[in-house]
Chains A and B, each alone.
Chain A
Amino acid sequence: MNPILKHALITAGVLAVFTVVGTALLSGTFEKTREPIAQSEKEAKRNLLSQVVPPAMHDNDLLQDTVQLPPSELLGQAAASTAYRAWLNGKPSAVILEAIAPDGYSGEIKLLVGIGAEGALTGVRVLTHKETPGLGDYIDIAHSDWIKNFDGKSLAKEGGENSRPGALPDEAWKVKKDGGKFDYMTGATISPRAVVKAVHKALVFFNQSRDTIFPDGDQQASSEETKEQR
């Protein structure tokens, strides 16, 4: 055989052997870690959801009971988004919406908005953001408790009884600088303004589509099924 050809074949063969060994190692590790990775991801998600709707408010697995929502301008979602439904004793207790504030200081701010069945916020958290570190990032719970300002707030019904504490009319859903009710930090108005706006719109969305999210009225239709899945 031509010595050059022989050399090339040996070289290619060696490379092929290393590739096969490497691939085997990778697929083995992948198989072994797949289950734990899926578990930890679920755990992380569950953790996040429980910050927005406290565990005492539901007895179902939030990850199992979801509704797909169509693209919605109010949620800032150009694509379909997921709503997580919380039930307590077979009654709707809260829903978690994924909202996007498109007008952050540097790009989108992704939010999880928890809303009680009566329309009061149970919690809001920032999922991802690119706001300036040290300035606009106080919207993140890791940096300050500002986001907890939303807890218990709701949308006041027009002309209706507004006796509920935390019920705010539409014009109050702004930062104080713009004449609203929400605190902000000097020098960083844009990030909280975007968050307040997005949360307000999410509440409006909830009021409009409560019946689509909980179509079965006050009955938890698939309670048996949900329990089995847990």
Chain B
Amino acid sequence: MSAPSRPATEGFLVPPTGVLRSAATFLYRRRTFYLLLLLVPPLLWLTTAYLATLLALLTQSIYSIDEFTAQIVRTPTLATYKQLLTQPANLDIVLRTLTMAVCVTLAAAFIAFPIANYMVRYASPRTKAVFYVAVLVPMWTSYLVKVYAWRLILAKEGILSWLFQAAGAQGVLDAILQIPAIGGPSLASSYIGMFIVFVYMWLPYMILPIAASLERVPGSLIQASADLGAHPGQTLRSVILPLVMPGLAAGSVFTFSLTLGDYIIPSIVGAPGYFIGMMVYQQQGTSGNIPLAAAFSVIPIVLIAIYLALVKRLGAFDAM
């Protein structure tokens, strides 16, 4: 079986030629250079566009404003922070925003978990796809359109109050609106309404991470738990929740930080009380008090850092 002799270049040990080929070979052999090539652009972006601006923000917050000239005094001082943390009105704003963020996060988690669990464990592949689309599509819609739509839904003569009326439950709505502090003349101008809009807006950010971590819990673990005598509730507490914690933590970081930083929802829906985001917007815009605006921006960063430390302490990332 003698094959006809071939030209040497067709043998399979001859290295291929060409510029692209030799570039590929070079990259394959110089792994460090290859990594650098991949990492430098995102690192540049991260350092200049992100870390540098953050640093600029922090620098602004330790400047102060001259009350007579409204000029920024560029000498390091803690006066701005002192002003923020000692004036009751400012503290109220921080507390109001924080309370809202915590409530929204808790509610989103309680609503999102059953939805994610159904999507991942019980829905047929088709229904599951429909659910994913239903969760994602609202995120493609303009944020402002959604907020204004909610304002109409929640308005005094809006769809929701009309539905309450049609169901003969006007009294229930009135009773809800009469709750002190969180009630108001209508849902659209109460903290309850604002809360509803926040939960609606951030729900996808809670559902998706929870669903992702549920997908990674093998069905055999749940069966093993039942096999070993655990009732469904015990399986939920002892197996599913601990393993889903990283997803729950990730989702809650989204809902928590998005609520802390938002200034559009509180200015369109809800009671007139200020939120941190609105304060930043107003201080750097109308009032021109950049140092105070910067100091207010630091508050959510600190709060989220504390939140992450707490979550880590509770062991949420242990199963990662």
Are A and B associated in one complex?
no
